[in-house]
């Protein structure tokens, strides 16, 4: 009887400790997602380079259906490249002679000659050669002239190089658009024979995969340098 009375006396304390342990475990289980969400929120804020109050107030509103972590992600996506990247690129652009990005555009001369020979052989649409609507060879032919006159001889103002770059971008965009609109796709406009499918074959896949982005990059680098000189 004494043992049973002792166990009966100890039972409420054990039960209370059990409930406390279960409650503590439960509170930790509930608190753990909050801690994970807070850590993820802080990490996204650090990646975004935003201050703790950098998220728009409408997104941070507790009544909003968008979670705060998602709001931070949206804020991170909307920001531009981090300043350290631009700080590393700026010295390289400053050290690069401005004549190089302009003169390098002469690579478009052999590219256009190859496209012309392919058009004569019937392998590509004539639309994409300088017999059609592709005048990209003019950019390649004038690149050495502009580079020499603007940056070596300095007979022309640098504004000529600036306008030349913008003209080269428009001409390149014209070629890209005509190639897309003559390809066998649902938005095809130009019914050419043959269609512009050669850019998916080797080695011509280098044209959209490397040479066209290289032309874009050279124009962008040159314009960035000219802007820094103003």
Instruction: List, in order, residues 6 or more apart from 116 with CB less than 8 Å away.
Output: 129, 130, 131
Q: Can you tell me the distance from the alpha carbon of 25 to that of 12, in angstroms, rounded to the nearest whole number?
A: 19
The 10 Å Cβ neighbour count of residue 182 is 23
Domain boundaries, the chain: 2-78, 83-229
- Specify the pLDDT at position 178: 85
User: In the prediction, which pLDDT does 36 show?
Assistant: 62
Is this prediction's pTM over 0.75?
A: no
pLDDT of residue 160: 94
Query: For position 31, what pLDDT does the model report?
Result: 45
Per-residue pLDDT of the chain (230 residues; tens, 9 = 90+): 545 544 554 445 544 444 444 444 444 444 445 666 666 666 656 554 544 444 444 444 444 444 443 444 444 444 444 455 666 777 777 778 889 999 999 999 999 999 999 888 888 888 888 888 889 999 999 999 999 999 999 999 999 999 999 999 999 999 988 888 888 888 888 877 787 778 888 888 888 889 999 999 999 999 998 888 77
Minimal CA–CA distance to 143: which of 111, 109, 184, 189?
Answer: 109
């Amino acid at each position: 009887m004494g043992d049973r009375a002792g166990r009966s006396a100890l039972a409420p304390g054990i039960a209370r400790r059990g409930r406390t342990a279960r409650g503590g475990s439960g509170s930790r289980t509930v608190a753990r997602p909050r801690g994970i969400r807070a850590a993820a929120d802080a990490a996204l804020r650090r990646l975004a380079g935003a201050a703790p109050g950098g998220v728009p107030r409408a997104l941070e509103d507790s009544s909003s259906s968008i979670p705060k972590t998602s709001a931070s992600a949206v804020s991170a996506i909307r920001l531009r490249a981090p300043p350290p990247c631009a700080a590393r690129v700026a010295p390289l652009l400053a050290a690069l002679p401005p004549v190089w990005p302009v003169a390098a555009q002469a690579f478009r001369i052999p590219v256009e000659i190859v496209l012309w020979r392919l058009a004569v052989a019937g392998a590509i649409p004539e639309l994409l050669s300088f017999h059609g609507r592709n005048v990209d060879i003019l950019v390649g032919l004038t690149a050495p002239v502009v580079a020499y006159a603007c940056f070596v001889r300095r007979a022309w103002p640098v504004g000529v190089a600036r306008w030349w770059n913008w003209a080269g971008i428009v001409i390149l965009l014209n070629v890209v658009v005509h190639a897309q609109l003559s390809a066998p796709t649902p938005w095809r406009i130009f019914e050419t024979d043959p269609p512009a499918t050669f850019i998916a074959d080797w080695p011509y896949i280098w044209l959209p995969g490397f040479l066209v982005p290289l032309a874009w990059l050279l124009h962008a680098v040159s314009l960035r340098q000219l802007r820094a000189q103003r």
